Amino acid sequence: MIRIRNLAFAYAQSVFDLQIDELQIQASSATAMVGPSGSGKTTLLNIIAGILSPDSGCVSVMETDLAGLSDAARRRFRLKNIGLVFQEFELIDYLNVLDNVLLPCRVDRAFPLTSDRRDRAAGLIEDVGLKDHLKKSVTRLSQGERQRVAICRALLMRPPLLLADEPTGNLDPVTSDQIVKLLLRAVQDEGTTLLMVTHNHSLLHHFSRTIDFAEFLTTSARGASVEESRR
Ligand code: ADP
Ligand code: MG
């Protein structure tokens, strides 16, 4: 699903640099990424999503080399194939629950709002227990409810790849567990590939694989591969 080789990335005017010689993520797997703050987890997700471009090396998602695409094609590839979930939800406050979930249909004419997509959105919202809140402003929802809306939006296009950056960071333990189970259900039911950053080690048993950026940090100086632990 994801293949990274000889990746190097640095921000302008920052000493931080990310180097990954080799990393592969299998399709339909659930992988957790852990590691200290500032170790490059968010940076890597942004590179995989094609939001940031590597300085060198190859990153392919579903056999597609992101660097080979134009900006517009990369954006379209992302909308179609990658669902993104963030810690801060990134919902649009002036839109209701349904319209937030349907947001991908508003940002690209390639994905018009069809009755199928509207049904899919309503079905997802029902699945996560928010059926009675369809027309409610997202500002009136709890944190856990907001994150469920964000997950519905990420799943709208049935993306083969789901990237989640600390999606439970603002949530209590019970709600965190519900959110992770929701993400894992997409892996089980739809064969989605899930890559999730978390600080919460009590969630790791849900995942088939954990990549620890702490080991990666020490080895990256030597340009070695990402070390990983299999559970
Ligand atoms: P993590 O998600 O593991 O906490 P990040 O990928 O966000 O780490 O950040 C890795 C490093 O890159 C940090 O040192 C951070 O300060 C730096 N960094 C992140 N974003 C930027 C940016 N836009 N410009 C410059 N440096 C950045
Ligand atoms: Mg981060």
Ligand 1 pocket mutation pick from 9, 43, 166, 197 by most atoms within 8 angstroms of CB: 43
CB 38 less than 6 A from any atom of ligand 1? yes
Q: Mean pLDDT score of the chain, rounded to an integer?
A: 89
202 C-beta neighbours (distance < 10 Å), count:
11
Q: Which ligand is nearest to the CA of 41?
A: 1
Q: How far is the CA of 81 from the centre of ligand 1 (A)?
A: 25
The tokens of 137 are what?
A: 């402003």
φ/ψ of 46, rounded to 5, equals -65, -30
Tens digit of each residue's pLDDT (9 = 90 or more) over 58-75? 999 999 999 999 999 999
Q: How far is the CA of 165 from the centre of ligand 2 (A)?
A: 7
% of the chain exceeding 90 in pLDDT? 72
Rounded Cα distance between 141 and 65, Å, is 39
16 C-beta neighbours (distance < 10 Å), count:
11
Tens digit of each residue's pLDDT (9 = 90 or more) over 99-149? 999 999 988 888 899 999 999 999 999 988 999 999 999 999 999 899 999
Residues 190/25, Cβ–Cβ less than 8 Å: no
Residue 223: per-residue pLDDT = 40
Q: In DSSP terms, which residues pair with 42 in a beta bridge?
A: none
CB 39 less than 6 A from any atom of ligand 1? yes
Q: How many CA atoms does the CB half-sphere of 178 hold within 13 Å?
A: 15
Rounded Cα distance between 90 and 86, Å, is 7
Residue 88: per-residue pLDDT = 79
Rounded Cα distance between 19 and 216, Å, is 9
CB 198 less than 6 A from any atom of ligand 1? no
Decide which of 114 and 229 is more confident. 114
Average pLDDT over residues 162-187: 90
Q: How many CA atoms does the CB half-sphere of 115 hold within 13 Å?
A: 0
**The total number of residues written for the chain in this structure:** 231
189 closest CA partner among 181, 201, 197? 181
Is a pLDDT exceeding 80 seen at residue 215? no
**Protein residue whose Cα sits closest to atom 13 of ligand 1:** 38
150 closest CA partner among 121, 117, 193? 121
Look up the pTM and report it: 0.89
Residues with Cβ–ion distance below 5 A, ligand 2: 42
Confidence of residue 226 (pLDDT cuts 50, 70, 90): very low
Residue 110: per-residue pLDDT = 83
Residue 44: per-residue pLDDT = 96
Is a pLDDT exceeding 90 seen at residue 155? yes
Contacts of 165 by beta carbon, 8 Å cutoff, 6+ apart: 41, 42, 45, 84, 85, 86, 87, 196, 197
**Protein residue whose Cα sits closest to atom 19 of ligand 1:** 43
Tens digit of each residue's pLDDT (9 = 90 or more) over 7-18? 999 999 888 889
Q: Which ligand is nearest to the CA of 169?
A: 2
Q: How far is the CA of 37 from the centre of ligand 2 (A)?
A: 7
Of 76-85, 128-137, 169-178, the poorest mean pLDDT is in: 169-178
Confidence of residue 227 (pLDDT cuts 50, 70, 90): very low
Tens digit of each residue's pLDDT (9 = 90 or more) over 17-71? 899 999 999 999 999 999 999 999 999 999 999 999 999 999 999 999 999 999 9
Q: How many CA atoms does the CB half-sphere of 167 hold within 13 Å?
A: 33
CB 214 less than 6 A from any atom of ligand 1? no
CB 87 less than 6 A from any atom of ligand 1? no
φ/ψ of 108, rounded to 5, equals -145, 125
